[in-house]
Amino acid sequence: MKRRTVQDIMTKDVVTVTEQTPFAEIAELLTEHRVSGMPVVDDAGRVIGIVTESDLLHKQEYKDHTEGRSLRALLRRNAQAEAKAAAVDAGGLMSAPVVSAAPGTSTTEAARLLNAHGYRALPVADEDGRLVGIVARRDLLGVYRRPDAEIREEIIKDVLVKKLWHDPDMLDVRVGDGIVHLSGRVETKSLVPIVARMIGRVEGVVDVVNDLGYALDDTAARKYTRI
């Protein structure tokens, strides 16, 4: 099975800023390009941080404070937020060090990184740390827009024939809205969950409805086998 990497889905034309980019210009770029964040790069194009809408909003958040709660007490709760609220350029606003992905990172790992760190986008950098692209959550969700016919073809050719050496005529594979319905019969009972699991790993598969039967229950024999 062909596993796509972030290099296959990333945006290569990335809007970036430097540490010296003023606050107002950053706000304008975010609005103009309709992005939620931008990588901060040095003169060599290496990623040194990332600045997001949330970073800019700290200034507005701390501009007005409720009566009875002093600004000093409010800011003391979060020194990092205080620093960003006072920042005037990307160097003061950015989060660093930044988590980035290599071009060969799998889409699965990229999704894990985004969720683990709560990011909306992940810079993609080469082995020297230079920015080569950016991958966003919406890019990763693109795998679920694969046509059902394309998913079914990959299941039959790559999973059943190439990986499992199974006669595809013995199984009925139907795909609708990314949901795979399996019926038919495989040789052994132990193979049933294996087939479903491998099909579930095909990109674009939302779920697998497994109604496979089997010719031989090899799991019963294992229970009585002593090593």
CATH number of 41's domain? 3.10.580.10
* pTM (predicted TM-score): 0.70
Q: Using the structure block, give the residue that is written with the tokens 């998913």.
A: 151
Residue pair 140/9 in contact by the 8 Å Cβ criterion? yes
Q: Is residue 120 part of a domain?
A: yes
State residue 3's pLDDT score.
74
**Residues 131 and 210 reside in one and the same domain:** no
Domain boundary among 143, 161, 184: 143
DSSP, collapsed to helix, strand or coil, labels residue 4 as coil
Q: Is residue 83 part of a domain?
A: yes
Domain boundary among 143, 175, 199: 143
**Residues 46 and 21 reside in one and the same domain:** yes
**Residues 170 and 121 reside in one and the same domain:** no
Element holding 207 (H helix, E strand) = strand 207-216
pLDDT category of residue 105 using cuts at 50, 70 and 90? very high
Q: Is residue 1 part of a domain?
A: no
pLDDT category of residue 64 using cuts at 50, 70 and 90? low
**Residues 67 and 44 reside in one and the same domain:** yes
**Residues 60 and 132 reside in one and the same domain:** yes
DSSP structural state of residue 69: S
Range of the domain at 104: 6-143
- Domain count along the chain: 2
**Residues 154 and 135 reside in one and the same domain:** no
State residue 66's pLDDT score.
47
Among left, alpha and beta (phi > 0; psi -120 to 50; other), residue 165 is left
